[in-house]
Amino acid sequence: MIKIDALQALYSFYDDFTDRLAFSCGPGCSTCCSVNVSITSLEAAYLRKHIALSDQEVQRQIHAAVGRPHFIPTMTTNRLARYCLRRLDPPEEQGIHAPGQCPLLGRDGLCRVYENRPFSCRAMSSNQRCQADGEAVIPPFLYTINLAFYQLIEHLDVKGTSGNMLDMLTDDGGNRISNNPFPGFLITDAERPPFQRFLNTIKIYPVNSGHLADFFPLQTFRLN
């Protein structure tokens, strides 16, 4: 089983899911395209497959951006979820968000790697234009779905690492943190029925000759 194919399937499922929703985002809307994007090592491998990253000028811009301040995560989503599920206070995130535009954004305001963009970028959909305050307005249940995708993507790369996209693309091993196995989803009681329906759908999404469920522990798609 090729995990990068499963990652692409997760992306495709999410894109199909959100295409049915109404958002204010569109081409040229780039408020959230910053230097503070976090990804897994598997996502970095998928991102490197895009032809734009073979361009020397793009590489120069990435290496220039990594030398400036940017968010460096100190905790993964699954590690945070483990604390929350045990009703423990998690360590405070030490990384600080910094100003700066993503170097993968073209002069036309469009993403140069849009087809291969990481999940952190795909998840930034907003119900209203966010130029004014710089924050996306995400419906509560979609926020829960997004969190679940972060968890699944991290578990898919459980033996890998996570970090800022710039560090991951320039192979800066010093700013990476280890990924954690899936500990359970963070959902409210009211969300359980629709979330179980969501799990029933995603587990049978095709990956080559199998399904997404083949890449995760059996209990992942069953709520207790």
- In degrees, to the nearest 5, what angle opens at C-alpha 197 toward C-alphas 193 and 202? 145
pLDDT at 124 (0 to 100): 80
Give the integer Cα–Cα distance in Å for 33 and 48: 18
Is the Cβ–Cβ distance between 186 and 160 less than 8 Å? no
Q: Which helix (DSSP H) or strand (DSSP E) does residue 106 occupy?
A: none
Show the low-confidence residues of the chain (pLDDT under 50): none
142: Cα separation from own chain's centroid: 14
pTM of the complete model: 0.93
- Bridging pattern class, strands 38-40 and 206-207: unpaired
Identify the pLDDT of residue 100. Answer: 92
What pLDDT sits at residue 156?
98
- Residue 174 has what pLDDT? 81
Write down the pLDDT at residue 129: 61
**Pair 14, 149: CB distance under 8 Å:** yes
Return the pLDDT at 20.
Answer: 76
pLDDT of residue 211: 97
Kindly state the tokens that stand for 78: 């699954």
Quick one: how far is CA 63 from the chain centroid?
Answer: 22
Distance CA(43)–CA(140), nearest Å, equals: 25
Supply the pLDDT for residue 127.
56
Instruction: Report the C-alpha gap between 68 and 198 in whole angstroms.
Output: 40
Provide the pLDDT for residue 29: 72
What is the structure's pLDDT at 10?
A: 98
User: How much is the pLDDT for 139?
Assistant: 77
3-state secondary structure of 6: helix
| Residue 39 DSSP SS3 | strand
